[in-house]
Structure 1
Amino acid sequence: MKKHILEVDGIRKKFNERVVLSDVYLKCETSEIIGLLGRNGSGKSTLLRIIFGIEAAADKCIRIDSVSKNNKNVLLNEISYLSQEQFLPNYLSVQKAISLSIDKESRKAFCEDEFVKSLLDKKISHLSGGELRYLEIKIVLSNPSKFVLLDEPYNGLSPLMVDKVNEMIKANSNKKGIIITDHNYQNVIKISSRIILIKEGRTHTIENNTELVEKGYLTSFSAL
């Protein structure tokens, strides 16, 4: 299977006079899971929104397979994005949401998931926070894009759902490149093939967990 490469470079972002991102380079290949870590307010979610094309940034350069993709309408066809906010409308039934989001040929396999099967007779508005999050993650991972951006996927999930989501992420990483950020950093570290830390607006490749302590992201190894 041909590998695809997403590269993000030259991004600068300020909110009022506060510089959030100033020296960002990020590279993700299909079959990689990149964990994006950083303190609150470090710009992780902002970076994902910039990559997807829903947040403006000065001098951004986004390439897929060495071809510039700075037009957000093009990016929508190649990158899927799970935001922190709910994207499935409350007025839809679960079955309608699935039919609108999943190709007809793939729906049967999608609904064979035991968690999804238990939701099929419900409306979106009747789902718990964890059930809704799980459904949205599965829909985003099922999109035919080359790359997936996951912002706080573990929010509201039970431990059993977290395990199922990690299985889904790993299975999809066989053919997609995945970038994930979450406050549950232990899960991010556990599932990622590579870790990138955002600190003081810059991206730092983390070679081993010791560097997370050295760079002040964690206070001690016991936090791992």
Structure 2
Amino acid sequence: MVSKTTLEAIERYKEKSLPYILEIEGIRKEFPGVVALDDVQFRLRPGSVHALMGENGAGKSTLMKIIAGIYTPDRGTIRLRGEEVVLASPLDALEQGIAMIHQELALMDWMTVAENIWIRREPKNALGLIDHRKMTEMTRELFAQLRLKIDPTAQISTLTVAQRQMVEIAKAVSHRSQVLIMDEPTSAITETEVDHLFEIIRDLKARGVAIVYITHKMNELFEIADEFSVFRDGKYVGTHASIDVTRDDIIRMMVGREITDMFPKEEAAIGEVILSVENLSLPGTFHGITFDLRRGEILGLAGLVGSGRSNVAEALFGVTPATEGKIRIAGRDVPIASPADAMREGMALLTEDRKATGCFLPLTILENMQIAALHEGHVKLGCVDERGMTNLCLGMKDKLRIKTPNLDERIENLSGGNQQKVLIARWLLTKPQILILDEPTRGIDVGAKAEIHRLISGLAQQGVAVIMISSELPEVLGMSDRIMVMHEGHMTGILDRAEATQVKIMELAAR
């Protein structure tokens, strides 16, 4: 909740009727070996949505973390409500009326929904103890205001990713902040939930809340944002009203070049069946999944959140083995009881949640990249061939255009998109026959998306069989040779590329 001092500053601001609630001038921020922000500016109007656009590593999240009190700028000024401020910590920013919803969710799994929302602000009873009943009532009132149907007493660990995202949003709203920063808030929620979120944003705008909205999805910018600013390579490029530009204009500003083909799907020779799945089932999760995958084929896997797409991928890779059905690789029945079994059979899995199940955050880029490829081919006399592995990893860094000063940088210091590229590099180093990609371009900018799509298409041309799970239907349609659709744990159909449309996929996904 905002402090008494902040409430007084708000009243002074209202009297002045200033055009901007937040003004950033000349901000610079350096990290070891890299300039993240170089003399950038940013202005935010009250009661508006300002989208912040740019490629991964452009400096968007770094600037927002400075505004949220997480980072301290090396130089530059921040004016809030017309007065210069120093935001010394996230708590300081909250007390001054600034809240941030991070792309990587930071809720505490072992606590309830209500406890997460009101942490450090819990209502107390006459004995000075936490009044759990009142806290639950406060949460219900907040959820009613936001039209959320989530049990306040539920433990966070029992919620879906989409529900957790909504809890984060509710927590930020509960602070009654005047400035609300949303970093990729729709990356893990369904289209229905996106519509709901936009309703919440419009309500907040009507109350005068200023919203900074970071997104890589162009359609969201045009639907919800009043204006946008573009950053490129840590520098400010420009600010425009959303109604004054086209999608291509924004892409040119972001990447400094034309991107003529977002889905560079090249023709690949489709070979023999490499993976055959028959009646694969896991009670309570998915049932009777049957399909074939051929060398050189990209099989798209579509369906709404909760349809069981990721569960099937995890079963194929042995993360959560299926209890029924058969998996055949190159015509042989293969028991997949663990990821080690899957890797021995030439399989690789890029997981949906890079923070929770992909990155080893305290380790370096080099360690994260090489960890899956430390097998016999890179071991001599019981020792890892470090020089050879490092050279391979450097090659992957250049191939995927990973923005980092060196491979010794900790992976947690990279942008989300560059973290994703490191994970893709990790699995490419294993030279897989079967590559399963779960949301490979989530949270990645348009330029990097095109690069990854080109890479996937190139792998298919080399004979790699690819399963690509995506919530973005244009991506599924643009990249897939065939599309398997799921609904509530069941396979509802397989469409050939020539016959697939968004309408047909949604009809199968919503059966």
With over 3 angstroms needed to count, the CA separation of the structure-2 counterparts of 1:66 and 1:121, relative to structure 1, is closer
What percent identity do the matched residue pairs reach? 25
The answer to whether residue 249 in structure 2 is matched with residue 211 in structure 1 is yes
* TM-score under structure 1 length normalisation: 0.86
Structure 1 unpaired stretches of 5+: none
With over 3 angstroms needed to count, the CA separation of the structure-2 counterparts of 1:83 and 1:99, relative to structure 1, is closer
Q: Distance in 2 between matches of 1:123 and 1:113?
A: 21
Q: Distance in 1 between matches of 2:223 and 2:61?
A: 20
Alignment check: 8 A CA contact 1:141 1:169 kept: no
Shift of 1:202: 2.1
With over 3 angstroms needed to count, the CA separation of the structure-2 counterparts of 1:221 and 1:147, relative to structure 1, is farther
Q: Distance in 2 between matches of 1:75 and 1:110?
A: 22
Q: Which residue of 1 aligns with 2:93?
A: 75
After TM superposition, the structure 1 = structure 2 runs for residues 167-186 of structure 1, keeping only pairs within 5 Å, are 167-174=199-206, 175-186=208-219
Alignment check: 8 A CA contact 2:24 2:42 kept: yes
Alignment check: 8 A CA contact 1:12 1:58 kept: yes
With over 3 angstroms needed to count, the CA separation of the structure-2 counterparts of 1:7 and 1:143, relative to structure 1, is same
Q: Which residue of 2 aligns with 1:198?
A: 231
Q: Which residue of 1 aligns with 2:106?
A: 87
Alignment check: 8 A CA contact 2:230 2:254 kept: no
- State the SS of the aligned residue for 1:9: strand
Q: Distance in 2 between matches of 1:81 and 1:54?
A: 10
Q: Which residue of 2 aligns with 1:28?
A: 44
Paired residues in the alignment total 223
After TM superposition, the structure 1 = structure 2 runs for residues 25-64 of structure 1, keeping only pairs within 5 Å, are 25-64=41-80
Aligned partner letter, 1:76: L
Q: Distance in 2 between matches of 1:62 and 1:89?
A: 31
Shift of 1:169: 1.1
Shift of 1:6: 0.6
Q: Distance in 2 between matches of 1:6 and 1:47?
A: 13
With over 3 angstroms needed to count, the CA separation of the structure-2 counterparts of 1:61 and 1:126, relative to structure 1, is same
| 1:84-129 Cα deviation digits (max 9, x unpaired) | 2223211111233345468869544323268633433521011111
After TM superposition, the structure 1 = structure 2 runs for residues 145-160 of structure 1, keeping only pairs within 5 Å, are 145-160=177-192
With over 3 angstroms needed to count, the CA separation of the structure-2 counterparts of 1:86 and 1:148, relative to structure 1, is same
Q: Distance in 1 between matches of 2:176 and 2:191?
A: 28
Structure 2 unpaired stretches of 5+: 1-10, 124-134, 263-445, 447-511
- State the SS of the aligned residue for 1:60: strand
| 1:164-185 Cα deviation digits (max 9, x unpaired) | 1111111112221110102333
| 1:142-166 Cα deviation digits (max 9, x unpaired) | 3211101111111210111111111
- State the SS of the aligned residue for 2:28: strand
With over 3 angstroms needed to count, the CA separation of the structure-2 counterparts of 1:118 and 1:64, relative to structure 1, is closer
Q: Distance in 1 between matches of 2:85 and 2:93?
A: 6
Q: Distance in 2 between matches of 1:114 and 1:11?
A: 35
Q: Distance in 1 between matches of 2:240 and 2:39?
A: 16
Q: Distance in 1 between matches of 2:75 and 2:254?
A: 29
Q: Distance in 1 between matches of 2:159 and 2:40?
A: 38
Alignment check: 8 A CA contact 1:37 1:185 kept: no
With over 3 angstroms needed to count, the CA separation of the structure-2 counterparts of 1:181 and 1:221, relative to structure 1, is farther
With over 3 angstroms needed to count, the CA separation of the structure-2 counterparts of 1:60 and 1:128, relative to structure 1, is same
Q: Distance in 2 between matches of 1:177 and 1:113?
A: 18
Q: Distance in 2 between matches of 1:176 and 1:116?
A: 20
Q: Distance in 1 between matches of 2:249 and 2:102?
A: 28
Q: Distance in 1 between matches of 2:103 and 2:54?
A: 16
The answer to whether residue 220 in structure 2 is matched with residue 187 in structure 1 is yes
- State the SS of the aligned residue for 2:75: coil
Q: Distance in 1 between matches of 2:149 and 2:254?
A: 43
Q: Distance in 2 between matches of 1:87 and 1:216?
A: 29
Alignment check: 8 A CA contact 2:114 2:139 kept: no
Aligned partner letter, 2:222: I
Alignment check: 8 A CA contact 2:25 2:41 kept: yes
Aligned partner letter, 2:166: Y
Out of 22, 29, 35, which is 1:6 matched to? Answer: 22
Q: Report the structure number with the largest CA radius of gyration.
A: 2
After TM superposition, the structure 1 = structure 2 runs for residues 69-148 of structure 1, keeping only pairs within 5 Å, are 69-72=85-88, 74-77=92-95, 78-100=97-119, 107-112=139-144, 116-148=148-180
Q: Which residue of 1 aligns with 2:283?
A: none
- State the SS of the aligned residue for 1:187: helix
